[in-house]
Each structure stands twice: as C-alpha cells, then as structure tokens.
A and B are shown apart, each in its own frame.
Chain A
Amino acid sequence: EPEVTQTPSHQVTQMGQEVILRCVPISNHLYFYWYRQILGQKVEFLVSFYNNEISEKSEIFDDQFSVERPDGSNFTLKIRSTKLEDSAMYFCASSEARTQNQPQHFGDGTRLSIL
C-alpha cells in the first residue's frame, strides 16, 4: 500500500538555526498538509498546499514557516529561525482530493528537538 514518507525521523537543531523537514506524499495525491503535535497535546493543522500554492494556513504558520514543492515528489517545510517552542512532532499528510470522503494519509512524522 502506498504511504507518505518523511525524513529525517529525528532532527536535533540549535535554537535560531534553520531546519527543513522533508516529505514524499503518495504519488497520485494532489493535496498536501503539514501538522504538528507537541508532546501530549492535540495534532494541530499548520498548512495545506495545492497546485503549487498554499490553500489554507493556521495562526501557527507565521512568517518563520514556509512550504515548497521543489520537484514532482517532495514537499518540504522550512522553519527559518527555530525557537524552543518549535520542538514537536511534525506530520506530513496527503490526500487524493479535497472532498469530504477522501481522508488524509499521514506519514510517521519527524521529531524536531530544538536545543
């Protein structure tokens, strides 16, 4: 069964440094998403992406965040100047369509630890 893959599984970065989290969505999917989950808390939506542009973003997704689909397979999340509170699991997801009956498929996440 096709799956969403994320790399790296764990990223340790110094505060203030830039970090790029990578995702390979399922190949025939058109919509891509990033979520984060702070330890012990809910999964929170960050951003959705379709047709090479951001569709929606949450309040969390401020100017330090950006997303990109640099080629036909990768979908990246960049955090420009990391803060301690950016430490979390970051999940990428993709869906075939943006209709109600097309659930999102999640990767296994990247654990981001900011020191």
Chain B
Amino acid sequence: GESVGLHLPTLSVQEGDNSIINCAYSNSASDYFIWYKQESGKGPQFIIDIRSNMDKRQGQRVTVLLNKTVKHLSLQIAATQPGDSAVYFCAENMSTGGSYIPTFGRGTSLIVHP
C-alpha cells in the first residue's frame, strides 16, 4: 500500500546549526502536507503545512519544501535550539473525494546538543 515515511530515524545536531528533516510520500494524489512536532508525553503539535500548489512555505525559523516530482517533503529548522528536541513527523492528506484524513509517517527524532 502507499505510505508516508522518513529517511532518517534520528538526527543529532549542535545548538545553533540548521536541521533538515526529510519525508518521502508515495501517494501522488496527496495535496496537503503537514509537519508535526511531538515532545515526550505530549500530543502532536502543528508546525507548518503546505499545499501541493506550492513548493515552499516559511514560518518562524521553519521552512517546508515540497518536491512533487520526486514526492519529497522536507522541514528545515534554522538555528536549532535545545527546545527543538522532539520527534518530527510529516502527514499527508488527500482531499479529493472529500476525505481529510491524514496519513502519518513514523517520525524522526531530533536531538539538539547544547
């Protein structure tokens, strides 16, 4: 079946570095993508989203890039801080047909060393 997955299960960076977390999706009909952050003991927290008619979207210290040609999504975090340590996962959504149910990836654990 089609699935959303992540290339790297763990990413370790130094405080102040930029972090890049990658996600591959296989459902070419997906048209909405979301990045979530999940800290230990907490629920997923929305970070940023992007529609399929865009290839880049920026937020505060975060940027999401979408490459539909290779079905790849990335999350860039600038000047990574210890508070950014968490599991990050992407989710894809296929709104055609009226379904808004996201399919989640497994997640990448980001570890930020002070």
| Interface residues in chain A, defined as those with a beta carbon under 8 Å from any beta carbon in chain B | 4, 41-45, 48, 56, 58, 91, 93, 98-101, 103-109
**A91 surroundings in chain B (CB, below 8 A):** 43-44
Chain B: residues with CB nearer than 8 A to chain A?
A: 31-32, 34, 36, 41-46, 49, 51, 89, 91, 93, 95, 99-107
Count, A-B residue pairs, CB within 8 A: 51
User: Contact between A45 and B102 (Cβ–Cβ < 8 Å)?
Assistant: yes
Q: Check B43–A109 contact: CB distance below 8 A.
A: yes
Contact A108 B101 (CB under 8 A): no
Tell me, in angstroms, the Cα distance from A106 to B68 when the chains sit together.
Answer: 28
**Least distance between A67 CB and chain B CB atoms (Å):** 15
Known: A56-B99, A100-B51, A101-B51. Is A106-B43 also a contact (CB below 8 A)? yes
Residues of B within 8 A of A4 (CB): 43
Docked CA distance A43–B31 (Å): 19
Q: How far is the CB of A46 from chain B (nearest CB, A)?
A: 10
Task: Report chain B residues within 8 Å CB of A103.
Answer: 34, 46, 49
Task: Verify A100–B93 contact, CB threshold 8 A.
Answer: yes
**Given the complex of chains A and B, what is the CA–CA distance between A45 and B31 in angstroms?**
18
Contact A43 B44, beta carbon cutoff 8 Å: yes
A-B residue pairs in contact (CB < 8 Å), sample of 19: A42-B106, A42-B107, A43-B44, A43-B91, A58-B101, A99-B100, A100-B31, A100-B32, A100-B49, A100-B93, A100-B100, A101-B32, A104-B46, A104-B102, A105-B46, A106-B44, A107-B43, A108-B42, A109-B43
